[in-house]
A and B are shown apart, each in its own frame.
Chain A
Amino acid sequence: MTEEHHSPFELDAYWVSPGDAPLRVTAHVASCERCQTYLRGLDTLDATPARLLARPAPARRPWFARVVPVAATLALAAGIALFVRTRETGDTYVGAKGTPAVQVLVRRGEKTQIYADSMVLQTGDALAFRVACEGFGHVALITPGHGDTWTRLSDAMCPKEATTLPLTLVVDDKPGDERVSVVMSRTPLPQKALESAAKASTRDRQTWVTAYVFKKAATR
């Protein structure tokens, strides 16, 4: 064993929660092809469908049958959770605890409310973004500009707890909808990758995009 590389345990912990990884691990991984290969292997395994909820146990392996009741229970619970969550939270709900989530807060005059898809923004409204990164290490806000160019509005390390980004967007009086994508990623993304993720609304282990199209009230 050489000191240049980290153990799979260290790399696993980094992969699970990159935001909590020591700086020495982050710095090493960024420049080590072998460690990156190991992490890509985890990405590959992560993309494999989870059998726990998707596949019944083969009959010829009876020991695995013990897992099936748990799997069925989890599937049932997940369904109930989805149902209850949808019923109780309606339009204002963006994400659940444990899932990367974004919440937009709209301040109009002295009143602040949580943004809902049905809401029409007015000139002067101020918008704040609250994020729960849940393991992602970096968060960026990006908006399309003229032509094919996108502008980074914000670029920061993910906060450990759900918190509001230190950024306020103010609605102007120009006509047309406004689009903003909140891009969470494991590491800071270069501009091209950020734009690609925003355009594709990517949601995987590496990148999690939440896209908004804000409707603005017509102004004379």
Chain B
Amino acid sequence: MWGSPTGRMRGSVSQWPEDAFLWPVVPRVDVCAFAGLCSMTNASSFPQVYRRFLAPVRAKCRRIIGTAEAAEDIAQEAFARLLGSGPDVASSETRTILAWLYLTATRLAIDALRANRRGVRDTDVEAHLPPHQSPHEVLEARRAIEQMCVDTPSEELEAAVLCRVDGLSQPEAALTLGVSERTLRRLLQRFDERTVALRRTAS
């Protein structure tokens, strides 16, 4: 038995010689040698990044697409693009990678909506909706985006997806889109005006 912790501790590890802490060298794998489409850094770090970020990206895709199958396709496509043209995942912060995946998945989702690749509505999408917004508001915004996606500029749709469906704060959405908060507010205002006009037409 080790006995009680205090009874078994002796000294501090810092007293150990420096060469005691050699970490085994892990070989890096050059996926690019096979794929020919990505940087060495991203390729070697990609499996871990994929594992860590997959669930949030899946949730994000389900929020806007609502169909598990189509959302999964978009999530996978976003990771494929991360591998090919994304930021350096080894040196980037969590939020940088997450923002890049959010934006890429948003654009892919808008493309999918425009191409009308929708299926049966996901019944458990509520679990992935923003905690601070009512499900009704989110689903209304999503419906408006679906209805207007063909004729509305991509920038407005992206802003609407990030703020109204994903529930990002305006500073978060502005950073993700790479625009100022003022520009973001203008995009959202235009989108809201379109929504009002759509409802008026519908009624």
Nearest neighbor of B48 in chain A, beta-carbon distance: A98
For B60, the chain A residues whose CB sits under 8 A away are 8, 12
CA–CA, A85 and B46, complex, Å: 17
Given A52-B50, A172-B3; A8-B29 close (CB under 8 Å) = no
Q: Are B21 and A46 in contact (CB under 8 A)?
A: no
User: Closest 4 A-B residue pairs measured CB to CB?
Assistant: A98-B48, A5-B132, A41-B127, A12-B56
Picked from A46, A77, A153, A168, the residue with its CB within 8 Å of the CB of B11 is A168
Q: Are A37 and B29 in contact (CB under 8 A)?
A: no
Among A32-76, those with CB < 8 Å from B are 32, 34-35, 37-38, 40-46, 48, 50-52, 61, 63-64, 66-67, 69-71, 73-74, 76
For A80, the chain B residues whose CB sits under 8 A away are 29
Give chain B's interface residues, CB within 8 Å of chain A: 1-5, 8-14, 16-17, 19-27, 29, 31, 34-35, 37, 43, 45-48, 50-56, 58-60, 62-63, 72-73, 76-77, 79-80, 83-84, 94-95, 98-99, 102, 117, 127-133, 166-169, 172, 176
Whether A191 sits at the interface, judged by CB under 8 Å, is no
For B129, the chain A residues whose CB sits under 8 A away are 38
CA–CA, A50 and B50, complex, Å: 9
CA–CA, A10 and B166, complex, Å: 11
Q: Are B131 and A134 in contact (CB under 8 A)?
A: no
Q: Are B50 and A6 in contact (CB under 8 A)?
A: no
Given A32-B131, A105-B16, A166-B12; A77-B83 close (CB under 8 Å) = no
Nearest neighbor of B36 in chain A, beta-carbon distance: A73
Q: Are B24 and A51 in contact (CB under 8 A)?
A: no
Q: Are B169 and A128 in contact (CB under 8 A)?
A: no
Whether A107 sits at the interface, judged by CB under 8 Å, is yes
Given A52-B79, A81-B27, A170-B10; A20-B21 close (CB under 8 Å) = no
Shortest distance between the CB of B174 and any CB in chain A (Å) = 12
Picked from B4, B14, B172, the residue with its CB within 8 Å of the CB of A9 is B172
Q: List 5 additional A-B contacts (Cβ < 8 Å) besides A128-B13, A168-B9.
A: A9-B95, A9-B169, A78-B47, A154-B5, A164-B16
26 contacts between A and B (CB under 8 A): A7-B130, A7-B132, A8-B59, A12-B56, A12-B60, A16-B94, A34-B132, A41-B59, A50-B54, A52-B76, A64-B77, A73-B35, A80-B29, A84-B27, A85-B27, A92-B24, A98-B47, A99-B48, A105-B20, A107-B16, A107-B20, A134-B48, A154-B5, A164-B13, A167-B9, A167-B13
